Chains A and B, each alone.
Chain A
Amino acid sequence: MSNVKKRKLIDKGFHILVFLTTLFGLLILSILLFDILKDGLKWINIEFFTNFTSRFAEKAGIRAPLFGSIWIITITMIFAFPIGVGSALYLEEYSDDKKILTKIIKLNISNLAGVPSIVFGILGLGIFVNFLGFGRSILSGALTLTLLILPIIIVSSQEAIKSVPKELRHGAYALGATKWQVVKGVVLPYSLPGILTGSILAIARALGETAPLIIIGAVTFIAFIPESIFDKFTTLPMQVYNWSTMPQTEFHDLAAGAIIILLILLLGANAVAIILRNKYQNRIK
């Protein structure tokens, strides 16, 4: 055939094209990382972790925002994971798909995932800070972030639950298992890796958010470590935001340092989730 050469050429061309698109992302990411490491690494030392923020760049540290971020992310997951997985289980396993209400709920949860985070901030300010009177506390922040990431967890958990083969469910029912036993014994173990993958994304999202926290009034100048969920707090992204708005360039470098720690925290959280996921995946194989 005469056009074989031409088709092969197109084949090769496309291969190169998609490689270049991948390279583009990698390149930008490397430049970004390099830039941040160049600015920030020199600031990272023991004091950087033990000091609170300060008016003087050389005395400023991330003690408060580091602890704040860890508090926030822990409390957020404590709320978001069970509520999210529970909702997904209800929607997939228990609710009646033919009811219009179920359809509306399912559609709207997907839509919620696309709502700008600042809107959740306004909601959080209205409900948690003012109406329920939790103030500008870790609890308010974590609950607001919970609302923000719930749709992500619910939708990804629903997908994971849907992927459980019908044959496995029927196998369990045929052994005289009740619905809950089928869910606990077959559906959850099988879908857990997928649920955890979605939760990884959700953790990353919550860890990096600033807008809703600014709205609910997280402060950036805090000189104590939170001791309960009713304490005021700040988080790493908030501190980065604050430092990068300062006029002195030293603070911009400090912000880069805080970004490095934020990335490490993020990678750490992801690593835990990935280890958990692999543990369950191996069990399945």
Chain B
Amino acid sequence: MNIKIDVKNLDFFYGDFKALNNINIEIEENKVTAFIGPSGCGKSTFIRTMNRMNDLIDGTKHVGEIIYEGKNIYSSEVDVVELRTKVGMVFQKPNPFPKSIYENIVFGPKRNGIKKKAELDRIVETSLKDAALWEEVKDRLDSSAWSLSGGQQQRLCIARALAMKPDVLLMDEPTSALDPVATSKIEELIGELKDKYTIVIVTHSMQQAGRISDNTAFFLMGKLIEYGETSKIFSNPEDKRTEDYITGRFG
């Protein structure tokens, strides 16, 4: 079992508020790891530390280490721009750029130095195919991404992230703004993607975590309560609080 990301004693603060408290977790390669927990438990904050998106919020600070490829991503050896090309992210609300479908996909690759039209075309096709969107949009790559439905937009955002050929894909409640049909498509997609990528997903829905993840981490009030194989967490949790949450007694 290869460890992709190793988090050691991570605390995270918004100003004086301690949002994460001593998190230790090992994310396994080519697995789907789900973060579950009630609102405000820190699961979204945590996933956003892994590609340092929290840097964009004023007044945040951290203590501890996140080791990726042998280096602490917060150390000066790691360039945050480069990190984000390897650790991609899909957001809660679909956020395609106000550009054509084609331009959305090539946004990242173009800015990272790929100029050749033929290569960009190839990236667009493979990314859209990987995101199971190709068949629906191949005839209208030049139309605006905003003309797509919500579910299609989210798959476009996944394709956009895949176009960077990332190593890890972070997904922050990717289906919370989608209808059940679109949700099941994305879940199916996640199952296919884990052969190539390491996926971390934050989800509000325990059923979703149960359906798609290999490992599950349960968070409560900024603490990691329990982490293990999904089947074990759901059938035989060790901690009373995990059990209460999973059986729907709170949250």
What residues of chain A have their CB less than 8 Å away from a CB belonging to chain B?
97-98, 165, 167-178, 181, 185-186, 189-190, 283-285
Contact (Cβ within 8 A) A177 B108: yes
Contact (Cβ within 8 A) B98 A175: no
Q: Would you give the shortest CB distance from B195 to chain A, in whole angstroms?
A: 22
Q: Would you give the shortest CB distance from A102 to chain B, in whole angstroms?
A: 13
Contact (Cβ within 8 A) A172 B56: no
User: Across chains A and B, which 5 residue pairs bring their CB atoms closest together, nearest first?
Assistant: A176-B85, A175-B108, A284-B98, A167-B95, A174-B89
Chain A residues whose C-beta falls within 8 Å of the C-beta of B84 in the assembled complex: 173-176
Contact (Cβ within 8 A) B56 A176: no
Contact (Cβ within 8 A) B81 A176: yes
| Consensus secondary structure, chain A interface | helix
Chain B residues whose C-beta falls within 8 Å of the C-beta of A175 in the assembled complex: 84-85, 88, 107-108, 111, 160-161, 164
Contact (Cβ within 8 A) B58 A167: no
Chain A residues whose C-beta falls within 8 Å of the C-beta of B112 in the assembled complex: 176
Contact-residue size bin, chain B (C-beta under 8 Å from the other chain): 20 to 34
Q: From residue 99 to 117 of chain B, which have CB atoms closer than 8 A to chain A?
A: 99, 107-108, 111-112
Closest chain A residue, CB of each to CB of B103: A185
Contact (Cβ within 8 A) A171 B95: yes
Closest chain B residue, CB of each to CB of A165: B95
Chain B residues whose C-beta falls within 8 Å of the C-beta of A185 in the assembled complex: 97, 107, 111
Chain A residues whose C-beta falls within 8 Å of the C-beta of B58 in the assembled complex: 97-98
Cα(A170)–Cα(B91), bound, Å: 9
Q: From residue 59 to 92 of chain B, which have CB atoms closer than 8 A to chain A?
A: 81-85, 88-89, 91
Chain A residues whose C-beta falls within 8 Å of the C-beta of B147 in the assembled complex: 285
Closest chain B residue, CB of each to CB of A175: B108
What residues of chain B have their CB less than 8 Å away from a CB belonging to chain A?
51, 53, 56, 58, 81-85, 88-89, 91, 93, 95-99, 107-108, 111-112, 144, 146-147, 157, 160-161, 164
A167-B93, A175-B88, A177-B108 known; A283+B99 contact, CB < 8 A: yes
Contact (Cβ within 8 A) A190 B85: no
A170-B53, A173-B56, A175-B107 known; A186+B144 contact, CB < 8 A: no
Contact (Cβ within 8 A) B164 A168: no
- Residue B107 contacts which of A169, A172, A284 (CB distance < 8 angstroms)? A172
List 19 A-B pairs, Cβ < 8 Å: A97-B58, A167-B93, A168-B98, A169-B56, A171-B95, A171-B157, A172-B107, A173-B56, A173-B84, A174-B84, A174-B91, A175-B84, A175-B88, A175-B160, A175-B164, A176-B84, A176-B164, A177-B108, A283-B98
Chain A residues whose C-beta falls within 8 Å of the C-beta of B91 in the assembled complex: 167, 170-171, 174
Chain A residues whose C-beta falls within 8 Å of the C-beta of B97 in the assembled complex: 168, 171-172, 185-186
Q: Would you give the shortest CB distance from B51 to chain A, in whole angstroms?
A: 6
Contact (Cβ within 8 A) B53 A173: yes
Contact (Cβ within 8 A) B81 A177: yes
Closest chain B residue, CB of each to CB of A181: B111
Given known contacts A167-B91, A175-B108, A189-B99, what 11 new A-B pairs fall within 8 Å (CB)? A167-B93, A169-B56, A172-B97, A173-B56, A175-B88, A175-B161, A185-B111, A189-B98, A190-B98, A284-B98, A284-B146
